[in-house]
Structure 1
């Protein structure tokens, strides 16, 4: 029997906590062999990652990430707000975090993230920075960000230095595979 034909009935679904950032809970599922198991999940809103090209460079941000207790080099990223497309969210996040305006946003890919535990979709958008100003940043109260750039041909190597993160590496790999870097 093809595993795609297996039935996985959800017998119970329970949200055990909400944080304002995500909801966590479990689904009690009947597995194909008839046994039951709880599958735990965290439900997060959709997010966008922005590969912002500025001439022959890629725009990055540097910020401290308390969960891993490390300073990280990352692509601009953030939550897709209700009613926004990934492209609209990318331009807004880039403006808020860096002050840069951009044009020609193109959605490269959407995909589910960490499917063993998360209910979370991520979109990768490439866009071209159109201005030189960092004025107009609108950082959230928990964002302490430094804006930096790396030459496009060195961006992936820089992103792979520890502490590396999935969203940045994914964004750069997809942009490179599609001929944007």
Structure 2
């Protein structure tokens, strides 16, 4: 069955944005299901984001920051929103500089993926950054974080520590699969 055939079986009867915030829009689609019944499918729509796997020698750069939404301190890969007209690679370089103070010589897109497809309309790009030069950070006004170096051979274990962050875990596992975590 092709995607268009499947979509024909799931006709959107109505789509309603119920609220907007500076970070996302939330609403629902009233969908006619294949059996003819209808159901509201709720969603939140966020801008695209980038997750940066930044390798400096035999270390990956992580950021340590408090996440008020889950009320926890988190060790994560650098990440952020992709600005209008910006590629994932350009967003990765910008976010890496802002959060860690490093500028990469090269950025390569590893993977694009939809996040939490049961509730979000949100795509992430996972980008590897190499050839890093330290130039100084430019933190956003809501960023209170420190940079932590994690040896590549410990990256998977660190990413799995609670509270595990889905984007960090995915980025590290994609990097491992691509052979980028060898010392």
TM, length-normalised to structure 2: 0.94
Deviation, 1:132, is 3.6
Deviation, 1:138, is 1.6
Does residue 30 (structure 1) correspond to residue 32 (structure 2)? The answer is: yes
For residues 171 and 62 of structure 1, the distance between their equivalents in structure 2, rounded to whole angstroms, comes to 16
Deviation, 1:43, is 0.3
* Paired position in structure 2 for 1:141: 141
* Paired position in structure 1 for 2:23: 21
Alpha-carbon deviations, 1:82-137, whole Å to 9, x = none? 1110000000000001111112110000010000000000000001142244x2x2
For residues 99 and 8 of structure 1, the distance between their equivalents in structure 2, rounded to whole angstroms, comes to 47
Q: Which 5+ residue runs of structure 1 have no aligned equivalent?
A: none
Q: Secondary structure of 1:63's partner?
A: strand
For residues 26 and 79 of structure 2, the distance between their equivalents in structure 1, rounded to whole angstroms, comes to 22
* Paired position in structure 1 for 2:46: 44
* Paired position in structure 2 for 1:104: 106
For residues 134 and 32 of structure 2, the distance between their equivalents in structure 1, rounded to whole angstroms, comes to 56
1:17–1:25 CA contact under 8 A, matched in 2: yes
* Paired position in structure 2 for 1:155: 155
1:47–1:121 CA contact under 8 A, matched in 2: yes
For residues 114 and 169 of structure 1, the distance between their equivalents in structure 2, rounded to whole angstroms, comes to 14
Q: Secondary structure of 2:23's partner?
A: coil
Where does 1:48-127 land on structure 2 (aligned, <5 Å)?
48-127=50-129
* Paired position in structure 2 for 1:169: 169
Alpha-carbon deviations, 1:30-51, whole Å to 9, x = none? 0000000000000000000000
RMSD of aligned Cα (Å): 1.2
Runs of 4+ residues over 4 Å off in structure 1:
none
Q: Secondary structure of 2:153's partner?
A: helix
Aligned length: 178
Deviation, 1:3, is 8.9
Q: Secondary structure of 1:173's partner?
A: helix
1:59–1:148 CA contact under 8 A, matched in 2: yes
Alpha-carbon deviations, 1:34-75, whole Å to 9, x = none? 000000000000000000000000000000001110000000
